[in-house]
Structure 1
Amino acid sequence: MDATTPGPLAPEVLDRDDLKRALAEHDFAAVFSLVKKWGGLSQNRIAAACRLTPGKVSTIISGQQQVTSFEVICRIADGLRIPGRMVGLADCPWERRTETPDPYPQQPPAARLSVDAPWRSTATVHLAADLTRSDLVMDRRAATRALTGAALFGTPLLDSLEGWLQPSPAVAKGHHRGRISIREVRELEGTARVFRAWDHRFGGGLRRKAVVGQLNEVSSHLEDHQAPDVERGLFQVMAYLGGTAATIAWDSGLQQQAQSYYLLALRAAHAAGDSAFGANVLAGMARQMLYQERPQDALELVHLAQKGTGPKAGPRLRALLHTREAWAYAAMDRTAAFKRATSEAEEALADAGADDEPYWIAYFDEAELTGTTGGRLLEMARKGARERAEEAADSIRRAVERRGPEAGRSYALDTIGLAECHFLIGDVNGAVDHTQRAVEAAARTQSARVRAQLGKLYPYTVGRNTSQRVADARTMIRDLLST
């Protein structure tokens, strides 16, 4: 249903006590039956309005299938124009809609970084300027449209990254003399570290514009003729900021923007001669591919990172790349390869010292490794290998104990995973306890990824025979996801 059309249910239908009760209890078999009887809507019309198949509606009405997905509940509320409060949600988007016209109806989302641009430092500076300028003027409507932008996959992306393996060609210098000093470069690097630490803990996009603005400032300095050490330092800062901007965009669901900033960060690392951070960027791109269910693309990116760094990669970076490799193998149901790559990650991390690697990889410790490994075991358990659920729970529990709540986003993700493990094992009381902690941890972050993972717990809490504790956990999840 178009958001501008009136709701298909008359006010007197929504005022019926039996419909109100069915909505409050999420009994959508009764809801659809009452809508057919009193609202005059056919089964096909209900399906079209709620973006469901007629067969799906039929199985719901017959009681053969319950609605447990939070996303489907939102689609039903939007499609039938049921006020959010009647199903325990916040106000639906159409309830908040105003008649103010969009002053920028054709405004595109943030510019996409061209994958065909040459691997020269001057091209990287121009691309950074264009990308950040368009992003800084993007308003909320354009940001909403950017959520639908798709990342680039497959051969076009992978072929475009081959230039990362080649040395950066020398280029002619500009005419304007730069006035920035190496001390100021170090100050910019300190700012980049602060942004990265904040994002790693809290997630979300509240400071995205600040990161993009700083990135734009760095690109403007690089348009001038700088001393070689200053230029190298500025490109390194650009790489750090680009990586953080990519993570923030990805964590906010802006897939196309995230990929554009990842590509910019990789080009900046190439210009700075920092192959280690470039490999870290490729690891981030691989993670994005894994969340997009593109494990083969992710594996290619990891292998590209490993080839590009070679012996220059420190133990923590090697461990990170092996975990991305293991993640891809797990997604491809290659259990033996998953175990091998995980063992290689553990061996690499065992060689890590306290201060022998850059600050941006210091977070990758034993807790990160066990948490990531537990997450992959949980994915296997979801596919039917339920015996993996206890193994996953043990691994994630170790990560939770080592991190603590101060880890923010990572702690929230681990706790959500632990709750799901207990649901799969059949330990309902333990699952509810961890769900409550997960909701509390999720409320302290701004991460869309955390909320998406929390939504995966919702189906476990829905059923005709659920206890009051499980129902209370369901309410907690619903209340948080509705805000």
Structure 2
Amino acid sequence: MDATTPGPLAPDVLDRDDLRRALEEHDFAAAFSLIKKWGGLSQNRIAAACQLTPGKVSTIMNGSSRVTSIEVIRRISDGLRIPGHMVGLAARPWESPKTALQGPQPPTPDTGQADTDAVPWRPDATTGMAADLTRSDLVMDRRAATRALAGAAVTGAPLLDALDGWRTPAAADDRARRPGRLGAREVEELEATARAFRQWGRTGGGGLRRKAVAGQLAEVATALDEHQTPAIERGLYRVMAQLAGTAASMAWDVGQQRRAQDYYRLALRAAHAGGDTRFGANVLAGMARQMLYHDRPHDALELVRLAQDGARHAAGPRLRAMLHTREAWALARMGRPSGFHRATGQASEALADAGRPDSEPYWIGYFDDAELAGVTGGRLLDMARSDPQTYADQAADHIRTALNHRGPEAGRGHALDWIGLAECAFLLGDITGAADHSRRAVEVASGLRSGRVRAQLAQLYPYTVGDGVPRAIVDVRGSIRTLLTT
């Protein structure tokens, strides 16, 4: 089946609670029986779609054989067009609005596309965009949230053209508004709340925390509809930018890629309206990272260049260093190791000039030597997958440095360090180390509600599969599978 072929299961079948539970628990005996009953598929058709033999499907359905192989789970997901998150996998390559997989998609918030993309950007369009996005999020039920997972991020020229307003001054805001009553103290309290929410975002997304961020964002948008003094208005737009950035990270972490991108665009516009070019550059770096996860390094590099250009005169050492690491990531994905090493060296030089973390905005204070080591190790690991002899040892050294200097407070970063170190050990043939690091990775990951961490664990899982693997690896495989299906 190619990437544009609709799956054989109707949307109402995938929406059944009994089927969802069976898929989440990897009870494929029950899942296949339900698909046969409600989806109208014979055992032979299920087998053909999933690239399994009819005999294999029969043994699964009668309970004689359990599905434990991630590769078989991928075949089932791809063959029946079951979204990856429903079976503990990362989003599958075919998941996009064009597949019509889950029936009608949730309505995209009416953000006034023609108005929001107009140049120069208008602040009133930004507040309208915030109101529409948060209203949609706050009333989204479970079914709508599930369907939102199919929304693919915009890439290429449509994405980059929509960001042209970043380069120009904001348009005048001449709306007739009610008098506002907020002062500097209230803005400071909102900033403190945004800071706390940002810390939440480092441990995962979704649930009540996501609703809390959306609710606070809606309140800020309402306050901006009143007539605030210029200084208060700038402060409110900066708070809006930080809240929207956190909402983007949370949406991405639960797999809602298009919604994450919408929030990133809102964050960039709000930073622009508030005159905060540094946070705007940080938002563009977040969008670049999203493109890199979607294997769009050229788009990512364009976004990083846009960030570097916009914050050229305002960025401090930590922000410059972080932007260089995103540049390095894109170059590595483009198969340009010399460019990767050059950009990584520039990141190290920039960070060497950094003072105390509180000398720059709090949201970039996390970027220190440990973070640089971690992201550099991750990029070396990317290259080690195709050339382990050259890069695996280097990747492991950098990741160990990160682990020696930061712990669970790093949230996702700490878990990803352990997963990366485990993969390095597998690539180097260090089975004992691989088992130890994988166990530690599962232990750390179990304390987070992060889709990105789960996706990386799913990539680690195939290393644990095979004939004759040691008992320690078999145990690790079981613990990873249990976590992915919980």
Higher-Rg member (1/2): 1
Shift of residue 407, structure 1, vs aligned partner: 2.1
Q: In structure 2, the residue corresponding to 1:460 is in which secondary structure?
A: helix
After superposition, the Cα gap between the structure-2 partners of 1:114 and 1:465, relative to the gap in structure 1 and judged at 3 Å, is farther
Match of 1:13 in 2: none
Shift of residue 252, structure 1, vs aligned partner: 1.1
User: In the alignment, residue 70 of structure 1 is paired with which amino acid?
Assistant: I
CA contact (8 A) 2:328 2:341 kept: yes
CA contact (8 A) 1:68 1:462 kept: no
Match of 1:230 in 2: 232
After superposition, the Cα gap between the structure-2 partners of 1:372 and 1:112, relative to the gap in structure 1 and judged at 3 Å, is farther
Equivalent residue for 1:172, pick from 171, 174, 179: 174
The correspondence of residues 416-435 of structure 1 with structure 2, limited to 5 A, is 416-435=419-438
CA contact (8 A) 1:203 1:445 kept: yes
The correspondence of residues 431-470 of structure 1 with structure 2, limited to 5 A, is 431-470=434-473
Shift of residue 384, structure 1, vs aligned partner: 3.1
Q: Deviations over 1:414-463 (max 9, x none)?
A: 10000000000000000000000000010000000000000111111111
1:252 equivalenced with 2:259 (yes/no): no
Q: Deviations over 1:242-261 (max 9, x none)?
A: 00000111111110000000
Shift of residue 173, structure 1, vs aligned partner: 3.9
Match of 1:379 in 2: 382
Match of 1:2 in 2: 9
Q: Deviations over 1:278-300 (max 9, x none)?
A: 00000000000000000000000
Q: Deviations over 1:323-376 (max 9, x none)?
A: 000000000010000000000000000000002200010011111111001000
Aligned sequence identity (%): 61
Give, in whole Å, the separation in 1 of the partners of 2:192 and 2:171: 29
Match of 2:403 in 1: 400
After superposition, the Cα gap between the structure-2 partners of 1:75 and 1:146, relative to the gap in structure 1 and judged at 3 Å, is same
Shift of residue 139, structure 1, vs aligned partner: 0.5
Moved more, 467-476 or 172-181: 172-181
TM-score, normalised to structure 1, is: 0.81
User: In the alignment, residue 356 of structure 1 is paired with which amino acid?
Assistant: S
1:46 equivalenced with 2:83 (yes/no): no
Give, in whole Å, the separation in 1 of the partners of 2:454 and 2:321: 28
CA contact (8 A) 1:112 1:256 kept: no
Give, in whole Å, the separation in 1 of the partners of 2:338 and 2:78: 45
Match of 2:363 in 1: 360
The correspondence of residues 15-94 of structure 1 with structure 2, limited to 5 A, is 41-42=43-44, 45-48=46-49, 50=50, 52=51, 70=70, 72-73=72-73, 76=76
Moved more, 416-425 or 176-185: 176-185
Q: In structure 2, the residue corresponding to 1:439 is in which secondary structure?
A: helix
After superposition, the Cα gap between the structure-2 partners of 1:212 and 1:459, relative to the gap in structure 1 and judged at 3 Å, is same
Give, in whole Å, the separation in 1 of the partners of 2:343 and 2:110: 34
CA contact (8 A) 2:105 2:147 kept: no
Q: Deviations over 1:3-46 (max 9, x none)?
A: 7779xxxxxxxxxxxxxxxx99xxxxxxxxxxxxxx9955x651
Give, in whole Å, the separation in 2 of the partners of 1:359 and 1:316: 11
Q: Deviations over 1:112-153 (max 9, x none)?
A: 756541311111011111111111111010000000001111
User: In the alignment, residue 279 of structure 1 is paired with which amino acid?
Assistant: A
Match of 1:476 in 2: 479
User: In the alignment, residue 47 of structure 2 is paired with which amino acid?
Assistant: I
Match of 2:205 in 1: 204
Shift of residue 106, structure 1, vs aligned partner: 6.0
Give, in whole Å, the separation in 1 of the partners of 2:105 and 2:379: 40
Query: Which runs of 5 or more structure 1 residues have no equivalent in the other structure?
Result: 7-22, 25-38, 58-66, 81-88, 91-104
Shift of residue 167, structure 1, vs aligned partner: 0.9
After superposition, the Cα gap between the structure-2 partners of 1:75 and 1:142, relative to the gap in structure 1 and judged at 3 Å, is farther
After superposition, the Cα gap between the structure-2 partners of 1:318 and 1:349, relative to the gap in structure 1 and judged at 3 Å, is same
Match of 1:329 in 2: 331
Query: Which runs of 5 or more structure 2 residues have no equivalent in the other structure?
Result: 1-7, 15-27, 30-40, 57-66, 81-86, 89-102
Equivalent residue for 2:279, pick from 277, 281, 284: 277
Shift of residue 312, structure 1, vs aligned partner: 1.0
1:303 equivalenced with 2:276 (yes/no): no
Give, in whole Å, the separation in 2 of the partners of 1:424 and 1:167: 50
How many residues matched? 417
Give, in whole Å, the separation in 1 of the partners of 2:144 and 2:363: 31
Give, in whole Å, the separation in 1 of the partners of 2:131 and 2:77: 42
Q: In structure 1, the residue corresponding to 2:163 is in which secondary structure?
A: helix
Shift of residue 273, structure 1, vs aligned partner: 0.4
User: In the alignment, residue 215 of structure 1 is paired with which amino acid?
Assistant: L
Give, in whole Å, the separation in 2 of the partners of 1:424 and 1:75: 25
CA contact (8 A) 1:377 1:388 kept: yes
Equivalent residue for 2:155, pick from 153, 156, 159: 153
Give, in whole Å, the separation in 1 of the partners of 2:105 and 2:475: 43
Give, in whole Å, the separation in 1 of the partners of 2:199 and 2:484: 25
CA contact (8 A) 2:242 2:267 kept: yes
Q: Deviations over 1:137-175 (max 9, x none)?
A: 110100000000011110111112111011112221423
Match of 2:59 in 1: none
Give, in whole Å, the separation in 1 of the partners of 2:235 and 2:42: 68
User: In the alignment, residue 398 of structure 1 is paired with which amino acid?
Assistant: T
User: In the alignment, residue 465 of structure 1 is paired with which amino acid?
Assistant: G
